[in-house]
Amino acid sequence: MSQPIENQEWYGPRSAAGPRPPVPETEEIGPLRQAFLQHRAALLACAGLTGAACALCFCRAPGWGINVTVFSAVWVWCLLAAYRRLGVFQARRDVPLGMGILLLGLSVAWTANAFVQLVSRLGIFLLSAMMLLEPFCATRHWSLWTYIGAGFRLLAAAVARLPEPFVSLMRRPAGRRRLPAILLGILFALPLCWLAGDLLASADPLFQRLVASLLPTSLGLPEVLDILLRALGWFFLAFWALYCSLSAQSARPVPSDVRQPRKGPELTALVFTGALTLIYLVFCGIQVLYLFSRGARLPEEFTYAEYARQGFFQLLFVSAMNLLLVLLCRRRFQAGRALQIVLTVLCACTYIMAASSGYRMILYVQAYGLTFLRILVLWFLLVLAVLLTGTLVSVFRPAVPLLRFFLWVCLCLWLVFAFARPDRIAARYNLERFGPQDDVAACLLYELSPDAVPIMAQYRHSGIYSLEWEGYLTKSIPRRYQQAGIRGFSFSLWEANKAAEAYGNGQ
């Protein structure tokens, strides 16, 4: 059985008779694979730098902070450098994705809210996956499911190529094997030197004093081995992610063809969307007549407070369901003029329902205060309205790349949300409106992150949570800031620590 061309060039001939005749490649694969093999050493260096940065940033890190920002910068730089070597770099496509990853990484260090950090890290992963796919595939009209399928195919291809970096290093010509030999020697030297040093330090007090001066923290052999294994795990995770993904894409990129879905008859969509639209028109009429008129026409058995301060989560769910419904009709049914009109009316009703949900939430906030979850709900309503607008435009203009529109809208609005520090907004609103009451103090202490501390430090609480308030500002925040260290440094924690010090000094 003949060997593929990439395996022949990679591993070299198997016998002295010379390599077998190469198997012809397509024009798309051939030059790309040739560029990969030509710049293999540079790509290995980029992957090694990425792995080293990953190990230094995340091995036994005390938390998420500036380490995510630093690794994001190294990851993006190495990817862009690799694309330049492979000849697939396009600034218009790759730079915005790289900037999105960098800003998401910075948002992790900007806030101390665990949920915001989690979503930002997830965004970094998704944008990185797109950045590994887009230079090699025509993705403009891909759907979400096409992206997911391509991601899994790329993952399978990258896993299949895990041994390639080591085989490449070990099968280089005899005169060029110094680097793998050095790396292998270092790998053996680290545990042996540590074991010998630990034993000699216990045998001689002067040598022990010298070792203690060089390594202030005394670590036993099990802990050292744990650190080494964790560091190697982080290193190879990033190393393989970069190198094997590029190797898989250069040899056999994920197919770019998009299979158009079979569309159903327009009449089917008209029946169920028309029925829903009639219900929505009645409901929206009630909202305009009673809710937005501030209850001027409400029956006597209803109070405006009881009527308005409920139902926002149900309306939020229906609004999101309507967005998915319009997307389904756009993709799975033939869209004639009649369906376009019905979907336009349905979107208009969804706008009113989203406004009703937001208005109810605002009334609820005015009565009971602001929390992170309530700010998140209002943010989601804004995102939903913008996405619904883009979806409605795509009903009349099917050529609009809707997935890209969704991506950039969600990314930009999420960055605004993350950098705004919603916990601080909630703390400022509650303290200015209600003062440091017991309910407000409980919310600040147990529901909000250290983002709220600079606002808390401007007040003194004398209620039932006074001891918790003092201990949180004078002990918990400084201790958490010290534990974060350099890699877990957060701008929010730094500001919180400064505010806590000023509070403790009575300033």
pLDDT the model gives residue 150: 84
Residue whose C-alpha is closest to residue 270's, from 342, 347, 325: 342
SS3 308: helix
C-alpha distances in angstroms, 283 versus 111, 166, 176, 356, 377?
40, 65, 76, 11, 21
CA distance 426 to 443: 10
C-alpha span between 117 and 491 (Å, rounded) = 13
Please give the Cα distance from 396 to 296 (Å, whole number): 39
User: For residue 10, what pLDDT is reported?
Assistant: 37
pLDDT in tens, the chain (507 residues): 434 433 333 333 333 334 444 434 344 457 888 888 888 888 888 998 999 999 999 988 888 999 999 999 999 999 999 999 988 888 888 999 999 999 999 999 999 999 999 999 999 999 999 999 888 887 777 777 788 888 888 888 888 888 887 776 665 554 455 555 565 566 666 666 666 766 676 777 776 666 665 554 555 556 666 777 888 888 888 988 899 888 888 877 666 555 666 777 778 888 888 888 898 888 888 777 776 666 555 555 555 555 556 667 787 888 888 888 888 887 777 778 888 888 899 999 889 888 888 888 888 888 888 999 989 989 999 999 999 999 888 888 887 888 889 999 999 999 999 999 999 999 999 999 998 888 889 999 998 999 999 999 999 888 898 899 999 999 999 999 998 888 889 999 999 999 999 888 775
Q: Are 395 and 335 in contact (CB under 8 A)?
A: yes
Predicted local confidence at residue 269, as pLDDT:
80
pTM: 0.81
The one-letter amino acid code at 309 reads R
What per-residue confidence (pLDDT) applies to 118?
Answer: 95
In the prediction, which pLDDT does 316 show? 80
**In this structure, are residues 238 and 51 in contact, taking their beta carbons and an 8 Å threshold?**
yes
The full DSSP string for 66-78 is HHHHHHHHHHHHH
What's 62's DSSP letter? S
Which residues does 287 contact at the CB level (< 8 Å), separation at least 6? 352, 353, 356
Q: How far is CA 406 from CA 195, 222, 266, 424, in A?
A: 55, 49, 25, 28
Q: Quick one: how far is CA 255 from the chain centroid?
A: 25
Q: Residue 6 has what pLDDT?
A: 39
Distance CA 398, CA 340 (A): 12
